[in-house]
Amino acid sequence: MKRIVFTIASMLVVGPATVLAQDGISEKGDAILGAWINAPGDAKFEIYKRNDAYFGKITWGTRGAAKDVKNPDPRLRDRDLVGLTILNSFVFEGENTWGDGTIYDPNDGKTYSCKLTLTSAAKLDVRGFVGLSLFGRTETWTKINP
């Protein structure tokens, strides 16, 4: 009987602590939420959260193109670039890093593995790569109204 009471008491104490720890992780993960502008200043993005994953869509600027004309799927070439989700399914890994996601580049119609690293409250390194992160390119985005 003592064992049952101890188990129930432990669950009541440890359970809320676990939830608080998870919320703390979630809050840190949410640091990338909001509006961002790319390095050249010709495109803006909105990073948002859906369930436990992070996504990003184009909200302004398309480097001169209005449609997704470079998409390898002919059926998708007529879709608008503004509103297009290009960052997909990122997971907060801790240490200001989000991984396991992809980035779609409308300039070449390809999707790349991607890693996001928050280097300061207002700077986000977006690294797209093929295979290993070593083989890729990084662009730094700046948060709008941090």
- What value does the mean pLDDT of the chain take? 85
Distance CA 61, CA 125 (A): 19
- Whether residue 43 contacts residue 61, with contact meaning beta carbons closer than 8 Å, is answered with yes
Which CATH class for the 32-143 domain?
Answer: mainly beta
Annotated domain spans of the chain: 32-143
Per-residue pLDDT reduced to its tens digit, 25-38: 568 899 999 999 99
Query: What are the C-alpha distances in Å from 139 to residues 4, 44, 63, 105, 128?
Result: 55, 13, 15, 12, 9
Q: What is the pLDDT of residues 60-109, one digit of tens each?
A: 986 667 999 999 999 999 999 999 999 999 999 999 999 999 999 999 99
β-partners of residue 60 are 44
* Whole-prediction pTM: 0.80
